[in-house]
């Protein structure tokens, strides 16, 4: 009888606090035949902590494509494999994409075992509107490319979020401050779940001061979040020119025609023009 095909498990690991590891993640890592880790030495600390003795091999970006093809063959022959990265959810700015894509092409079952993910943890505690967001991963390394990217993001109607390292956080916030208007809200989540966890929401200019003045704000790992541009509310009264136009039109045509023409000419809201026209006519009748 042919051996049943194995499965591929994509398992999230803690992003700082070792206790943030699910029971199912631990059980699965004990049960599978092989663990593929981004860095086997790094993985050993976690695996030893939880008494997981499953064989571990490395899957990092330099050997990914070739190694993944070999792993798919093993799974087809019945081996169950789990993939983990150094921290958080594999594939999220981490290795694993070729393996998961190849598994789908080969009809292999892929199961996620969810857990920590820095961007989700950061958003949840940021104080920004996060029902919708876009994730940009790591940013380009040069200041000019970052500024170009920030300009493109400026009109995004939802929060945007990216990863940043301690080497570039100061330059990155400086670049952001060159592009965002004063008062624009941003949030930084630093060292999430670790001893020096810091989550701050402030205006971009306050954040720039903080990052420049407090050297701790340039240490560790960072998630940066930027709120969307505030929606410009249309005013709820007509300006002088709009009112003058409406009055002139009301003298010459019916209220309905005057309002329709005034919408076209002034660009003001139809409801507001109607309301004003009614008030003017009531005023004239009084
Ligand atoms: N796969 C991971 C995840 O699910 O979040 C992300 C891996 S990516 C290579 C590493 C980046 O994630 C760091 O440079 C930092 O921007 C962010 N990060 C990871 N752990 C973090 C933490 N504890 N606090 C803040 N940011 C963190």
Give pLDDT tens digits for 150-166: 999 999 999 999 999 99
From the CA of 34, how far away is ligand 1's center (Å)?
Answer: 25
Confidence at residue 285, expressed as pLDDT on a 0 to 100 scale: 72
Q: Are residues 102 and 129 in the same domain?
A: no
Q: Are residues 249 and 275 in the same domain?
A: yes
Give every CB contact of residue 217 below 8 A, 6+ residues apart in sequence. Answer: 169, 188, 190, 198, 210, 211
Protein residue with its CA nearest to atom 2 in ligand 1: 88
Give pLDDT tens digits for 100-158: 999 999 999 999 999 999 999 999 999 999 999 999 999 999 999 999 999 999 999 99
Q: Is residue 267 part of a domain?
A: yes
Q: Are residues 112 and 126 in the same domain?
A: no
Q: Are residues 110 and 133 in the same domain?
A: no
Listed residues 226, 251, 269: the one ending a domain: 226
Confidence at residue 2, expressed as pLDDT on a 0 to 100 scale: 57
The CATH number linked to 204 is: 3.30.950.10
Asked whether 24 lines ligand 1 (CB < 6 A), one says: no
pTM comes to: 0.83
Asked whether 94 lines ligand 1 (CB < 6 A), one says: yes
Q: Are residues 150 and 137 in the same domain?
A: yes
Measured CA to CA, the distance from residue 110 to residue 151 in angstroms comes to 38
| Burial class, 147, CB count within 10 angstroms (exposed 0-12 / middle 13-18 / buried 19+) | middle
Task: Fill in the DSSP letter of residue 183.
Answer: T
From the CA of 257, how far away is ligand 1's center (Å)?
Answer: 60
Measured CA to CA, the distance from residue 45 to residue 217 in angstroms comes to 27
Q: Is residue 102 part of a domain?
A: yes
Asked whether 156 lines ligand 1 (CB < 6 A), one says: no
Q: Is residue 231 part of a domain?
A: no
Q: Are residues 63 and 153 in the same domain?
A: no
- Report whether pLDDT(92) > 80: yes
Measured CA to CA, the distance from residue 264 to residue 252 in angstroms comes to 16
CB atoms within 10 A of CB 12: 23
The CATH number linked to 25 is: 3.40.1010.10
Q: Are residues 54 and 35 in contact, defined by beta-carbon separation less than 8 angstroms?
A: yes
Atom of ligand 1 nearest to the CA of 118: 5
Beta bridge partners of 164: 222
Beta bridge partners of 83: 10, 36
Measured CA to CA, the distance from residue 90 to residue 78 in angstroms comes to 22
What DSSP string runs through 225-252?
EEPPPPPPPPPSS--HHHHHHHHHHHHH
Count of domains observed in the chain: 3
Residue-number span of the structural domain to which 190 is assigned: 119-226
From the CA of 87, how far away is ligand 1's center (Å)?
Answer: 7
Q: Are residues 192 and 246 in the same domain?
A: no
Confidence at residue 60, expressed as pLDDT on a 0 to 100 scale: 84
Measured CA to CA, the distance from residue 28 to residue 9 in angstroms comes to 8
Coil, strand or helix: which one is 129?
A: coil
Asked whether 192 lines ligand 1 (CB < 6 A), one says: yes
Q: Are residues 66 and 163 in the same domain?
A: no
Q: Is residue 3 part of a domain?
A: no
Q: Are residues 111 and 126 in the same domain?
A: no
Q: Are residues 256 and 166 in the same domain?
A: no
Give pLDDT tens digits for 12-53: 999 999 999 999 999 999 999 999 999 999 999 999 999 999
Measured CA to CA, the distance from residue 30 to residue 58 in angstroms comes to 17
Confidence at residue 286, expressed as pLDDT on a 0 to 100 scale: 64
Confidence at residue 1, expressed as pLDDT on a 0 to 100 scale: 54
58 to 14, 27, 30, 199: CA distances (angstroms): 18, 20, 17, 33
Give pLDDT tens digits for 161-193: 999 999 999 999 999 999 999 999 999 999 999
Q: Are residues 168 and 176 in contact, defined by beta-carbon separation less than 8 angstroms?
A: no
Asked whether 88 lines ligand 1 (CB < 6 A), one says: yes
Atom of ligand 1 nearest to the CA of 194: 23
Q: Are residues 220 and 191 in the same domain?
A: yes
Q: Which two tokens stand for residue 9?
A: 């498990």
Listed residues 86, 116, 146: the one ending a domain: 116
Q: Is residue 235 part of a domain?
A: no
- Pair type for strands 8-11 and 81-84: parallel
Atom of ligand 1 nearest to the CA of 193: 23
- Pair type for strands 198-203 and 185-190: antiparallel
From the CA of 269, how far away is ligand 1's center (Å)?
Answer: 46
């Amino acid at each position: 009888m042919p051996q049943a095909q194995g499965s591929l498990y994509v398992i999230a690991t803690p992003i700082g606090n070792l206790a943030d590891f699910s029971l199912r993640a631990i059980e699965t890592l004990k049960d599978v035949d092989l663990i593929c880790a981004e860095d086997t030495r790094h993985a050993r600390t976690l695996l030893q902590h939880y008494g997981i003795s499953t064989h571990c091999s490395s899957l990092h970006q330099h050997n990914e494509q070739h190694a993944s093809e070999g792993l798919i063959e093993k799974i087809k022959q019945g081996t169950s494999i789990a993939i983990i990265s150094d921290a958080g959810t594999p594939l999220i700015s981490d290795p694993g994409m070729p393996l998961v894509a190849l598994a789908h092409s080969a009809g292999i079952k892929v199961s996620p075992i969810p857990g920590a993910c820095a961007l989700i943890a950061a958003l949840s505690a940021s104080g920004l509107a996060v029902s919708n967001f876009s994730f940009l991963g790591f940013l380009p390394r040069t200041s000019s490319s970052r500024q170009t990217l920030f300009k493109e993001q400026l009109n995004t109607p939802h929060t945007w979020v990216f990863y940043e390292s301690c080497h570039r956080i100061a330059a990155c916030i400086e670049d952001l401050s060159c592009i965002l208007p004063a008062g624009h809200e941003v949030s930084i989540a630093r060292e999430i779940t670790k001893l020096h966890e810091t989550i701050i929401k402030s205006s971009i200019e306050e954040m720039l001061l903080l990052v420049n003045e407090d050297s701790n704000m340039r240490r560790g790992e960072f998630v940066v979040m930027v709120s969307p541009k505030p929606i410009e509310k249309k005013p709820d009264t007509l300006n002088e020119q709009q009112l003058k136009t409406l009055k002139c039109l009301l003298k010459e045509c019916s209220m309905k025609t005057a309002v329709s023409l005034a919408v076209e000419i002034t660009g003001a809201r139809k409801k507001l023009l109607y309301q004003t026209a009614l008030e003017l006519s009531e005023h004239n009748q009084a």
